[in-house]
Amino acid sequence: MKKSIVFAAIAYSFFLYACGGAADKTSANESPKEETSSSSGSANATDNPSYDPERGTGKFTTVDIPVKLDAAMAANGEKVFDVKCSSCHKITDEKLVGPGWKGVTKRHKPEWILNFITNPDEMIDKDPKAQAMLEICMVRMPNQNLTDVDARALYEFMRKNDDVK
Amino acid sequence: MKKNKATQWAMAVLCLAAGIQSCKPKNAGSAVSSDAAQRAYVAPGKYDEFYNFVSGGFSGQMSVYGLPSGRLLRVIPVFSQDPQEGYGYSEETKDMLTTSHGFVPWDDLHHIEASQTNGELDGRWTFANGNNTPRLARIDLKTFKTAEILEIPNSAGNHSSPFITENTEYVIAGTRFSVPLDNSNGDVPINTYKKNFKGTLSFIKVDPADGNMTIAFQIKTPGVDFDLSHAGKGPSHGWFFFSCYNSEQANTLLEVNASQRDKDYIMAVNWKKVEEYIKQGKGKKEAVRYAHNKYSDVTHSTTSTIETSVTTIDVKDLADAVYMIPCPKSPHGCDVDPSGEYIVGSGKLAALIPVFSYTKMLKAIQDKTFDGDYEGIPVIKYEAALYGEVKKPGLGPLHTEFDGKGNAYTTFFISSEVVKWSIKDLKVLDRIPTYYSPGHLSIPGGDSRKPFGKYMVAYNKITKDRFLPTGPELAQSAQLFDISGDKMQLILDFPTIGEPHYAQSIPAGIISKNSQKIFNIDQNKSKYVTMGQNAAKVERQGNQVHVYMTAIRSHLAPDNIEGIRMGDEVYFHVTNLEQDWDVPHGFAVKGANNAELLIMPGETQTLKWVPTKVGISPFYCTDFCSALHQEMQGYARVSPAGSNVPLTFSIGTNNGPGINPVAGGDSAKGGGAPKAKR
């Protein structure tokens, strides 16, 4: 056995000798996108004084909502609701998988709702109200890939459901 | 410590082995370089530089690895049923495996070729050939799904395939087995091979817009075995080169009888000229039957058509378009360098590599420097087409690829090594052993006009002691070499599925940017889509029960179904309502005689279930989807034939009406049919 180790050592040094010099290392590996992109560098919104919990995080900063309901838009929103939301949400105040929608537009600012439904993963990771809801529902709301137009229409449907005329 | 000793001992054995063979100047020292691990290492969370699409051989599938890590990223089902995702089992996908012989749920996937534009990888599709029941598949690299399978008529053993022209104008299917063609009398004595058996070369047109494949024409040839092929490129674009063996036309014990002649041939086909002949109406329409199956990402289903006609042209009617170039000893690889000037033939039993010159070939044709004919096809004099021979490169050259820096890399099966040589002066530059006996090798873009000469992978036919023993059968082995320097350096071994024949590697960025994340539910045109949970329903049509079901984290709707009777066929049409990346749902029901479904976000798939027992059969989601995945389940009640249990379905109605003890929820109230949910 000892012999073999000596031989192995010799063989190994031969390897080292023969392969010397090639020390360049792979550095061109493409990196995946960072999963969480926090502009402040803070993982939790509560640590961040600039975070607006009324607005949430996402692309909607200010949304102008007219006083009167856009009935056509609300009808489009209902179609989106049927396909993408109704499995988990009722339009009453009953919780199914997620909370019922009755009164939702009174509980949250439109910006918060639009950000939450278009950017749920980041919101659940950062927003205190979204996190509190997760503790109740225990299911992360899926990202249903809503377009901005769909999201806005859904909001109009929520308003209709909250008796805006 | 023990392990270290073992490793050193193994290395010593390796060196010894190399030493014994060192009557040839083997560069054993570079077998494993000291920083190999670092160069193959891709840190957790980092991406690989290349996608490596590898044939799965007799598994019938195509696997996708990352390079340089060797990580298995995906197995794409192509020619074989795949219970993992229900491919070939679901109602929507089973017709992908339809042929003129009926349902053929397995094939032998040999070679991969990636689509090209202007001779460069464009990352749109990969093609794969089925060697047993001759077929050709196109895989969509946006979805990594098999999009199309075309059966090849007048063929047996579609081996010389699926190589392409430099703008993917054509993909090729050449017969390994010559046979009596489909619409001739095939009931003949086998020893009438010379008289009755023919080969064919199919040129399959690829629609540049959507990839749709149609057989443009088939060239009928004398009975030989076509092995591999490659298209000309650049100046030689317009030509195709096919290696062929068994020019002896033996019909038995080919191991001996097809190895008699000193030279077989590379057949050179001027396909642009053949196109003209076809345009002039010289082709002949023949009645044949072959299946053409296409999968739609919009209807999420397969359209399977039996085609009944193909255009053929006999090689005898192709004067000035087809020539034979003698090539030593049963050639396998037939590879064209990036410039398009050099054609490398690799005779499986040869001890040299002939390199032919396209320019010299043209001149020989012009000057009629012929050496007789083979069954009427002019044979170009070997020396007249030869650029030169690589002398004493090794034993049994099989396949060659190129690094774009003037070098070629050839595998040697018999002497178990890869040899790097210079195209210009045909000098051997480096050689490195492989473990053991490589077939094909692959360099990213290595058969295109623009190779990315950083890595080379050898796909070995024999594994033996390279991995921990796993009984009589071992995984096949691939070996990754760094070829960025003068010397090839082994940096990684990794096991592969099935038998890897050919492979293609594509820079990651060309593909990843187009990779689709979901199917848009709004564009789901499945006949059986359920657009939202409100639309979920169960319908009876005679003895068929159609369940229109939705899946979303984390429930199936409906999840209580009653009124199914023995003798019924139940079709679960499951629509995944998710619109988020990487959230498929699975579906399985107890006792189903097939497999599960795996339904991508926005997709609809159907599982057929014929109940075999009266009672309650559970069904559930098989792919972990959320914290409440284990709750994603339901029940189907099966009653005896003739039972008058009415057909009903529901979700959320617990323990019957009126006795619902669920805390926090009168949510089930008024449950009943899902429609009543509001």
B585-615 pLDDT, tens per residue? 999 999 999 999 999 999 999 999 999 999 9
Residue B217 sits at φ, ψ, to 5 deg, of: -160, 160
Residues of chain B contacting residue A94, judged by C-beta atoms under 8 Å apart: 665-667
Interatomic CA distance for residues B596 and B594, integer angstroms: 7
Do the chains contact at A32 and B32, CB–CB below 8 Å?
A: no
Cα–Cα distance measured from residue A139 to residue A131, given in angstroms and rounded to the nearest whole number: 11
pLDDT under 50 in chain B at which residues?
1-4, 6, 10-30, 658-678
Residue type, B396: G
Cβ distance B38 to A17 less than 8 Å, yes or no, reads no
Number of residues that this document lists for chain A: 165
* CATH classification at residue A138: 1.10.760.10
Which one of B29, B34, B47 has the shortest CB-CB distance to A29? B47
Which residues of chain B lie closer than 8 angstroms to A97, CB-CB? 553-555
Q: Please, which residues 15-54 of chain B have a Cβ atom closer than 8 Å to chain A? A: 15-16, 27-35, 38-43, 45-49
Determine, yes or no, domain membership for A116.
yes
Hunting for tokens 């990779």 — which residue is that? B515
* Total domains, chain A: 1
What is the three-class DSSP state of B337? Answer: coil
CB atoms within 10 A of CB B512: 16
Pairing mode, strands B633-639 and B560-565: parallel
Q: Coil, strand or helix: which one is B540? A: strand
Other beta carbons less than 10 A from residue A147's beta carbon: 11
Q: Is A6 on the interface with B (CB under 8 A)?
A: no
Q: What is the pLDDT of residue B258?
A: 86
Are A29 and B39 an interchain contact pair (Cβ–Cβ within 8 Å)? no
- Residue B656 has a pLDDT of 57
Q: Is residue A5 part of a domain?
A: no
Parent domain of A162:
87-165
User: DSSP E strands: which ranges in B70-180?
Assistant: 72-77, 98-99, 102-103, 109-117, 120-130, 135-140, 145-151, 158-160, 170-175
pLDDT given for residue B348 in this prediction: 86
In-domain check, residue A79: no
Q: Encode pLDDT of B385-431 as tens digits.
A: 999 999 999 999 999 999 999 999 999 999 999 999 999 999 999 99
Q: Which domains does chain B have, with CATH numbers?
A: 25-512 (2.130.10.10), 521-658+666-677 (2.60.40.420)
Residues of B whose CB is below 8 A from A7:
12
pLDDT for A49 equals: 72
- Phi, psi of A95, deg, nearest 5: -80, 135
Q: Examine residue A108 and state whether it is found in any structural domain, yes or no.
A: yes
Determine, yes or no, domain membership for A152. yes
Q: Which of B43, B46, B577 sits opposite A83 (nearest CB)?
A: B577
Chain A residues 20-39 with CB within 8 Å of chain B: 20, 22-26, 28-32
Radius of gyration of chain A (CA): 27
Q: Do B485 and A22 touch (CB under 8 A)?
A: yes
Answer whether residue A143 is part of any domain: yes
Contact between residue B223 and residue B249 where contact means Cβ atoms under 8 Å apart: yes
CA distance B252 to B254: 5
CB crowding B656-673: b at 16 or more within 10 Å, else e:
eeeebeeeeeebbbebbb
CB atoms within 10 A of CB B585: 29
Which of B26, B35, B530, B604 best probes binding to A when mutated, by most A CB atoms within 10 angstroms? B35
pLDDT in tens, A101-115: 999 999 999 999 999
Chain centroid, CA B577 distance in Å = 31
ipTM summary value:
0.75
Give chain B's length: 678
E strand segments, B297-395 = 301-314, 322-328, 331-336, 342-347, 352-357, 370-374, 377-380, 386-391
CB B310 within 8 A of CB B255: no
How high is the pLDDT of residue B513? 97
B552 and A7 in contact by Cβ < 8 A?
A: no
Residue A71 lies inside a defined structural domain of this protein: no
Nearby residues of B85 by Cβ (< 8 Å), 6 or more positions away: B77, B596, B597, B598
Task: Give the C-alpha separation, B617 to B614, whole Å.
Answer: 9
Which stretches does DSSP call E strand in B415-559? 417-422, 428-433, 438-442, 455-460, 476-482, 489-496, 503-507, 537-541, 544-552, 555-557
Chain A residues lying within 8 Å of B652, measured CB to CB:
96
Residue A31 is assigned to a structural domain of this protein: no
| pLDDT in the model for residue B466 | 93
CA distance B570 to B567: 10
Per-residue pLDDT of chain A (165 residues; tens, 9 = 90+): 444 444 444 444 444 444 333 334 334 444 555 444 444 444 455 567 789 999 999 999 999 999 999 999 999 999 999 999 999 999 999 999 999 999 999 999 999 999 999 999 999 999 999 999 999 988 889 999 999 999 999 999 999 999 999
Task: Compute the nearest-CA separation of A49 from chain B (Å).
Answer: 31
What distance in Å separates the CA atoms of residue A111 and residue A129, rounded to the nearest whole number? Answer: 14
How far is the C-alpha of B296 from the C-alpha of B298, rounded, in Å? Answer: 5
Q: Which residue of B has its CA nearest to A92?
A: B678
Q: How far apart (Å, rounded) are the C-alpha atoms in residues B150 and B162?
A: 12
Residues with Cβ within 8 Å of residue B406, at least 6 apart in sequence: B422, B423, B424
